[in-house]
Amino acid sequence: MNASDESYLSPPRDRKGRVFWLIDKAGLGLEIGPSYSPLAPRAEGFNVEIVDHLGTEELRKKYNYNPRIEDVDYVFDGRSLVDLIGSEGRYKWIIASHVIEHVPDVIAFLRDCERLIDGDGVISLIVPDKRFCFDHFRPHSDVSVAIDAHLAGRRMPSPGVVAAGLLYNVFNGGKHSFTDEDRKEFQLRFNADQARRSMEAAKTLYKDCHVWCFTPASFRLLILDLQVLGFIGLHEAAYFSTDAKNSEFIVSLRKNGKSKTKREELLLDLEGEIAAGSAHVPIFAEHLNP
Ligand SMILES: C[S@@+](CC[C@H](N)C(=O)[O-])C[C@H]1O[C@@H](n2cnc3c(N)ncnc32)[C@H](O)[C@@H]1O
């Protein structure tokens, strides 16, 4: 674990403590894409608005009336988050758990979040570590693909991303995410026909998938480089790395202040992450769907 904020004295051990580190919970917040596992339920006193891919009733139906589903305030309809919500500087905080890896244009998403928070606001992102989920064998996404997707105005995951997302998709010990401590054998999940069909469909339809594959250092490097290139005004305010017992990391962003991360250090961290990932000899078990 690690955090880059100066006020960091006693690191929270629990997931929520890390997500809400630096956040003033009294202010109005936005949770993006909570689906059936909200991190800021109103029943716990959070002053929050919710944006999701379906409205309240459709979400309830889709997820078997899971009682954890919150009332949805805004439903994605293809417009940007700022246009959908209709105001800027509205929130003191924004949280999004396992969302950013799905968005077709990661720069547009970050810019929208930046415009939606007020001056001191905090954006807290929980991101699956690609080494410990079904993306294990996919390469990490770097700034080049983020820029190209943005300049191309991507509104849907590209057919190429959809194809790769299926061809290299693995379970580990039957699970879609796992921990470093708990690695088992890998299994390919989809066959070539399924990948080809999804790739074809993605030419005209929105096929939800993991567009982006991040390790902690690759994500932190992306934030730094998007900032130095002038795409975003956000910088990293705190960071909690993936550890041996979980498969995700958390990065909090702010618009005021200056980044303390350094490209050289992040590049070396990234090399270490990749080397550690390949130090384990992966074993393939049966193909799940030959
Ligand atoms: C895997 S679910 C995460 C659910 C929950 N937050 C969690 O941590 O388990 C992915 C969420 O990403 C959201 N999402 C997918 N595509 C998105 C997009 N283009 N823009 C914003 N959110 C998106 C969906 O609403 C969906 O709820």
Question: Which pLDDT tens digit goes with each residue over 82-118?
Answer: 999 999 999 999 999 999 999 999 999 999 999 999 9
Enumerate residues 6+ apart whose C-beta is below 8 A from 153: 105
125: which strand partners? 96, 251
Confirm or reject: Cβ of 97 under 6 Å from ligand 1.
yes
The ligand 1 atom at the shortest distance from the C-alpha of residue 35 is: 27
The position carrying tokens 């580990």 is 172
Give the residue, 91 or 9, on which the prediction is more confident: 91
Compute, in angstroms, the gap from residue 63 CA to the centroid of ligand 1.
Answer: 14
Compute, in angstroms, the gap from residue 52 CA to the centroid of ligand 1.
Answer: 7
User: What's the confidence (pLDDT) of residue 1?
Assistant: 43
The ligand 1 atom at the shortest distance from the C-alpha of residue 34 is: 6
Using CA atoms, how far residue 284 sits from 35, 180, 186, 222, 280, in Å, is 32, 17, 5, 31, 12
| Helices marked H in 44-117 | 56-62, 81-85, 106-116
Cβ atoms of residues 33 and 51 within 8 Å: yes
Compute, in angstroms, the gap from residue 73 CA to the centroid of ligand 1.
Answer: 15
Which token pair is 254?
């702010």
Q: Taking the CA of residue 41 as centre, how many other CA atoms within 13 Å lie in the half-sphere pointing to its CB?
A: 10
Overall average pLDDT of the 32-57 stretch: 97
User: What's the confidence (pLDDT) of residue 9?
Assistant: 53
User: What's the confidence (pLDDT) of residue 243?
Assistant: 84
- Domains in the chain, CATH or no CATH each: 15-278 (3.40.50.150)
In the chain, % of residues over pLDDT 70: 96
Give the residue, 103 or 78, on which the prediction is more confident: 103
Compute, in angstroms, the gap from residue 53 CA to the centroid of ligand 1.
Answer: 7
Confirm or reject: Cβ of 35 under 6 Å from ligand 1.
yes
Q: For the segment 138-168, what is each residue's pLDDT rounded down to a tens digit?
A: 999 999 999 999 999 999 999 999 999 999 9
